[in-house]
Structure formats: structure tokens, C-alpha cells
A and B are shown apart, each in its own frame.
Chain A
Amino acid sequence: MSSTAANFGPIAASGKEALRLAMQRLWLTGRVLPAGAHLTIQHVFRSEEEKPLEVIYSFPLPRDAALRAFRITGDGFEVHSELIETEAAVQAYERGIAEGSLSALARQYGDGVVNLTVGNVRPNETVTVYLELLAGVELRDDGFRFRFPFTLAPAYHARMKAARVSEEEGEMELPPDQFGDMLLPRFRKDADSLHEVGFDISVLHQLTIDEIGSPSHSIRIRQDGMAPAHVALAAERDVPNRDLVLDVRFKEIASQVLSGATGDGVRSFAAIVPSTLFGVSPKTARRTVIVLDRSGSMQGAPIEQARKAIEACLAVLSKEDSFGVVAFNNNVESLHPTLQVASSENRDKARAFLRQVNASGGTALAAGFEAAASMLNGASGDVLILTDGQVAGTEQILAQARATNIRLFCLGIGSASQDRFLSLLARETGGVSRFVTARERVDLPAVDLFASMGPPAASGLKTAGNVQPEPPSVVFAGNPVLLFGELSGTPETLDLTWDGGQMSLPIPTGDGQTGQTVRLLQGSRLITDWESRYPAEQALAPLEKRKQSRVAERLSALSRTYGLASREMSLVAVVKRQSDRPGEIPETRIVPVGMPQDVKFEAYFPPAPPQDFAVAVAAPLGCVIEAAQVGYTPKPEIRRSFGLAALRGMFQKSHTPDLDSKIESTDDLLVHLASQLEPDGGMPGQSAPERAARSIAALLAFVASGHTLTSGAFRSHVARLVQYLKSTGEVPDRKILDVAIRAAGTGKVPPGDWLAMARTSSVPWRQVEKALTL
């Protein structure tokens, strides 16, 4: 691990003056396993003020995460935290502050936000807090994605207040009756002048790693066979304006069991079972509603890509399927109040609808999925939500989602994590979530997630033995099942049964450290699930009243059993020193964070409104836009047509260099092909042979790019093309069709530049025939 450079001296972007940072460094270390991560975050605090400081660092928990402990170190001391009831922890902290002692408190609030407060840092003193936490990962059949938040995204709430306090900073306040005394940081437009961040972590694995990559940071990887891989930030340091995202992909798809002894004759385990071991999804008619978040924070590439993704998803649908499209911000707009048959005409209407959708306003997420629920009208069906998830008060939204009784599949888009919330939203409603950064392609993961929707690969899943939390009852294609549990006594296997199948999974002896880690991961997952069911009015009630709450009781019990913090139990430490000066009030500072790199500062912190109306009217108006009816929703996209500067803003692309490029990538082409599929599964054309020829070219283009009937984001498109080719008649030679269909099954493509052929709008049958008979 590199150390803080002695000459590290941040400079303010505006004014160039040296900044006095209360927190100077945040460095992530630890072990990432396929079932979750055991992490230690180093926070270096330093006071250059004349008075003692009280520093508050506010951060979001990753998915399925819980705090375990911290140690606080400095010149001549090292003290470990205690895990005690939150009220007692706050009192212990306050007593420490009153006595002039260095004190630290890590307390969790709603939405998984944590305030780490370190009080009485003396002038010119450096204090380091090493915070230990457990976190989950996003699993896929062939690997996983690990995500760690280095910043806190601003979040929309109907009662939030936000203002720009300077050219560079904005602040946000949430109603205390719902969020208690949680303090939010200021959001800085330019994160360059903030504390340095970095990471150096190990990736443990049982399967051979094919690839480790990061769409968020430049990384340095040291990897040697089956030994843990080491992944570190390539640069000396970075800035806190986005999450760390690491993708680990294995060379094979197989079960993994992590285990080890955790007590007398007790073995804790985490088993990851790929969906492919359960079977394949049966084909039935789909009823799907796609819900698009069009709030202001989605401006730019996210909404552009989401639009493309929806078009590609719609292309998977056949004539038997029906669909709906909903777009929401503060208001909800639907393509049609009821589900529509997936005909060419209706899909064209959906495309026209999506073209007029622009990003503005707030995020009324619950209104979006409630509109989708009403469209499904109590019958079965799936909902795919594309959102950045930047909302506050998530426990209430989760309760609303559970009440709608619909299955939500979530595709999160953003550079700062709301991963915890969206993974809960999907899991609590029986769906699946994916979270991509705004600089990645969002259309491919959307198509991949869409392919997982529909009928599950297995239903009625049950396990023998002590497995907690309860296993999901259904398994979706592409998404493995993660099971945490304990075995005691003689059985050394875990038995799984589901409708029409069964499996016996050996649980190896493993090692004590792994056993301990998976037990903690099980605890953090259970605590996260219960936290999500803790309504604000209960969580903020006085202790006596909370004692009657079932959720509070369960959280306390889980915290004690696993030794992990929750909203009921917090971590506190007080460092008593001889030179403590009782009664001195420390100066309170909140550590600012960087605005997530792909969220426009102005989307949350626009220029302050005019001081008073008279001044406003007297000011040069520039232009006035007619809002003829009261209650008419202003549409900023109209306003943008005024003024050259506004026009420039409209066409300015904020990121994603590959999208700016005029050269079409393979993935662009595949998305384009996917969006062209007709309701019968074939490509369009003037005649049956031409349609068959174009369909063969498209099919082989998909297969040549790694997408087959069972793997790859476009597996549903491959299946539909194959189905079309099987059913089509009127072609000169059926053997040609069979060659292409076999290729989709084996993944082996006959020689030829199928991508180039698929790119053209007209493919004569002769050309395909010639290529496949050579």
C-alpha cells in the first residue's frame, strides 16, 4: 500500500488557494471473494485548524453490506471500537467529546447511509480510522461484479431541499422527521481538490479467471494461476467522484462452494450455483412493461443508451407477446394505458414515443412502477426498470414495490452507487438487478437482463439444512443462486430440489478464515434485508417504542449474533489521553464529496432562483416560453432551443468517446440488428429468400461475436432467429438454413465476414448460399 505523500497538498480549482482538508485520504484494501468482500477502508483525518475538529464523513454502504469494527490510531495510541446499542454508542461518544477525548462513532441511517464521526482531532494531529466492512457482489453465471462507492450520489426526494452555495458547491437537506440527524456532505462540482482515494485488493477464486477489468478506473493486476489476484489503482491516487467497479469473469461456468469451520463441528458455507445447472427457460408468451427513468440526472448518454436498449429489447418480442412502455420523472407518461401486442406497428409507435422522451425533473420511482403494475392489471408479467436509482427514502419505495406484487428487474445506470437500493428492489420483488456505469454501454446489459426475464429456468427451489436467508423460489437464466448456510454433524452435502429436478452439492472442509468470512457475509446480507423493511417512523422512534418493533428486535439479534452493526447497534471508540481538555467544543466539519462524474451538477444545483419577483421581471428576460395551462409540465427540451449557449449544451456529449466516434463498433451493429427483428423473429426483406438470407447473415454475425442460444446478451435474439429459420419455407435450399441453425447451437461459425454482410440492408440469397457452400 502506498503511503500518503508528505507533500500532498490539494489546491482549490477556483482561486488556487491551498485547501485545508479535514479528511485527506481514503484507501480501500481487503479480499474480494465470489460470494462477497471483506474490506478495510483507511480514512486519514488531519486537522490544520487552531481548534479541535469534529469531522463527519458520510458515505453509502455497498450492496448487502454491514460494518463490523474499526480501529483508530495516531501518535502513540490504537483503540478498537465496541459494538453497542445505538443510543448507548451516541452517549459514549458524547461523553468522550465532553471530556475532551478523541472519540469516533460509526452510525448507520436509512438508505444505508453511514456517518463516520471523529471528534476532538487536535490541531496538527493526524488520526487514522481503519473501518472494516462486509459487502456483497453482483453475481452472474460466468463471474461477478464488485462495486465500492467512493462518493455519495445526491438523491431525489419529494421533500428534499437543494441549493447551490457557491459556484463550486451545492448542499442538500432531507426532512429530519424521515432521516433523523443524518448529515449529508456538500457536493463539489470538481472533485479534484478533495481527498485522495485508491485501492489495493485481492481477488480470491476457485475457478480459473478469464479476465479482470474495470470500467471505472485504470487498474494494475498481478495474477498467477489459481493464487489470489492483486488489483490496485494504476495511478498514484484518484479523486472521489465515482465508484470503483471491478468485473471478474471465469473461464468456465460451474458451481463454487466457499466453506470453513466456524465452531464446534459447525461448517459455514456460501454456495454459488449457476442457472445453467437448473435447466432452460420454457417459452411462453411474455407480458412486459418497460419503465424508463427520465429524471434530470439521466441527462446525456444514460438516457440515449437506455432508449437504444429498449428498442433492442422490444425486438426480442414476438407476435404472441405484449408490452407496455412507461416514462417517468415527477410525472408518468405511458405509450398506451394498456399492454399492446408486439406488432411492427406498435413497436414503431414505441420508438416514436421514446424519441420524444427527454431527461428532466425529479425521480418519482414509485409512480413509475405503480403505473406498470396498473398496466399489468393484476395478471402475471414482468417489469424492467431503467434508472439511476438516485432517490432517497428507499425503505418507503421498497414497501410500495412489495405492495404492488409485481416482479421488478432493475437496470441501474450511474457512476455513483445506488446499487444497494436497486439490488434490494429487485430481490424483494423476486427479480434481478444489474448496475452499469454511465460510461459503459447500457444497451447490452439491458438486452442481457431482458433475456433473463420471462419464465424462470427453475421454480419451487428448496434446500435441506440450515440455509439463511431463504433461497429464492425461482431461478432466472444467466443469474446464479447464492446460498448461505451452516452444516453441523455428519452431512457433508447440501441437497437442492426444484420442480422437476434435484442436485446434491458437496461442501468441502475449507479453511477457518473462509468460513468466518462467509458467515459474516451471511450476517451482512440478513441485516441488509431486515434494514430494508425498517420504516422511517419506526426506526426514528424513541428506544422504548422501538423495543416493540419486530424489525428492531430482529436487527439487534442479528447484530449480536454476527458482531455486525445495524441501525440498532453502532460502533464507538473513545481514546482517553492525559492531555484531554474537558469542555472544549470541537469545530464541526463535514467532508465534502465529489459530484458523480456523469451527473450534471446543474441537474441538482441549478443557479439560485431570483431573490424576488420584481427583480426578476426587471431583468432582461431573454425569452419567455408559453406555459398556457396551469399544471402544464415545463419541458426543458423546449427551452433549450433558445440561445446559442443553450444549444451548445444540448448537443454537447459529456462522455463515452466510443459513442462519439463515427466508426460503428461491432456492438453497435448487433444492437442495430437486434432492433430490426420482425415480430416473427426474422429480419425484414422484400421476399422470403431475401428475409431468410438476411436472417442467416444476422444470426451468424451474432454467433461470430460470441452470442449463442445459451450464452451472450443476444441469446434471445439468436433463439428467435433460429426459430424463424426453422419455420420459414419458400427458400431455394433448406440445407443452407440447417448449416446456420447448427452454428447457433455449436458456436462454430462457417468462414466469412458475416458482420460485414449483416451490415448491408440487402443480402441476396445467392451470396449466403455461396458463402455457406464453399
Chain B
Amino acid sequence: MADEMTLAELAEASGLAARTIRFYIARGLLDGPVKAGRAAAYTVEHLARLEKIKKLQAQGRMLSEIGRSLAGGTTPERYAAAPTAWWRHAIADDVVVLTRSDASPWRTRQIREAIDELARSLQSAGDEKRSRK
């Protein structure tokens, strides 16, 4: 691969549409081209950044979160009002998980799946321990 690519070549290499790449640039997720005008060019760093964005998206992160994370931010912008209530999930005799009650449907689903998984893993760990005794 050449050191420098056109936008069309970068789109081809990354598997993303050129419009999507421009959108990422506008959102600050990706730097603009290294040269301006007709010779506008992109480098392997651009490609690597796009691959990273795709990977983070596949992990369930939203572009706004990815933007903050790539910018090196540790304190995400938050627009959270104080929670009015929490759900208390007693998943084992010695483990209680609190979750915010007003999370969105998709987030609630993710959280419940994670809690189910944790509960199952604690349950099987407990069973193993008992069977060894």
C-alpha cells in the first residue's frame, strides 16, 4: 500500500463509505487529510484510526463515546440527572448489584445480560466449591 491515499482509496481500504469518513472528520473522530486541495491525501494513520473506530463500535460503543475516548478524555460529558431510584439485584448470598432504574431499554437489556452472566458464574463457582468439599 502506498504511504498516501486518496479518499476513495481510504474508503476502499477501510470498507467505509467516503461520506462516512467525511462525517467522522466533521465529528472530530478523524483528522482531516494531510494535504489540502486536489492533492488531498490520507495516510496509514488514518486507516489505523478508522479500524480502531470500527473495533470500538463493534464492542457496542457509540460514536460520541468513541470520540471522547480517542481524544484521551477520562471524564465523559455527562447530562445525567440524579437517579431517582436503583434496582437492587441480590444475585448471591454475598453479592448485591445496584443498577440505575431509568436506563434506556437497550442499556437495561445489556445490564441484565451482564448480571445474568455474573450470577451464573457465581452460581457455578459455588457449586464447584460445594462438590469439592
Contact = CB atoms under 8 A, between A and B. Distances in A.
Interface stretch (A349-357, A565-573, A606-614, A747-755): A606-614
A557 interface: no
Contacts of B84: 622-623, 639, 642-643, 645-646
B106 A160 contact: yes
Contacts of A588: 19, 22-23, 25-26
B20 A627 contact: no
A607 B80 contact: yes
B108 A361 contact: yes
B79 A330 contact: no
B71 interface: no
Contacts of B86: 616, 621-625
B106 A161 contact: yes
A181 B85 contact: no
Nearest to B36: A583
A54 B123 CA distance: 54
- Give the contact-size bracket for chain A: 35 or more
B61 to A, nearest CB: 8
Main secondary structure of the interface of B (DSSP, over half): mixed
B39 interface: yes
Interface string A73-112: 0000000000000000010001001100000000000000
B109 interface: yes
A624 B98 CA distance: 8
Nearest to A183: B23
Interface stretch (B43-51, B88-96, B125-133): B88-96
A685 B46 CA distance: 79
B76 interface: yes
Interface in B11-62: 16-20, 22-23, 25-26, 32-33, 36-40, 57, 60, 62
B60 A161 contact: yes
Given A586-B22, A608-B80, A630-B115, A173 B91 contact: no
Given A173-B63, A582-B38, A98 B88 contact: no
A158 B82 contact: no
Q: B32, B65, B76, B83 — which one has the most chain A CB atoms within 10 A of its CB?
A: B83
Contacts of A585: 7, 22, 25, 32-33, 40
B109 A330 contact: yes
Interface residues of B, number: 57
A702 interface: no
Contact of A625 (B7, B25, B87): B87
B82 A587 contact: no
Given A161-B106, A645-B84, A625 B101 contact: yes
A604 B19 contact: no
A589 B23 CA distance: 8
B85 A164 contact: no
Contacts of B6: 98
A241 B63 CA distance: 25
Interface of A: 54, 56, 90, 94, 97-98, 117, 156, 158-167, 171, 173, 176, 181, 183, 295-296, 329-330, 361-362, 581-590, 602, 604-611, 613, 616-617, 619-628, 630-632, 634, 636, 639, 642-643, 645-646
10 contacts: A56-B23, A158-B109, A165-B79, A584-B36, A584-B37, A590-B23, A605-B104, A607-B102, A610-B100, A623-B86
Interface of B: 6-8, 16-20, 22-23, 25-26, 32-33, 36-40, 57, 60, 62-65, 75-91, 98, 100-109, 112, 115-116, 119
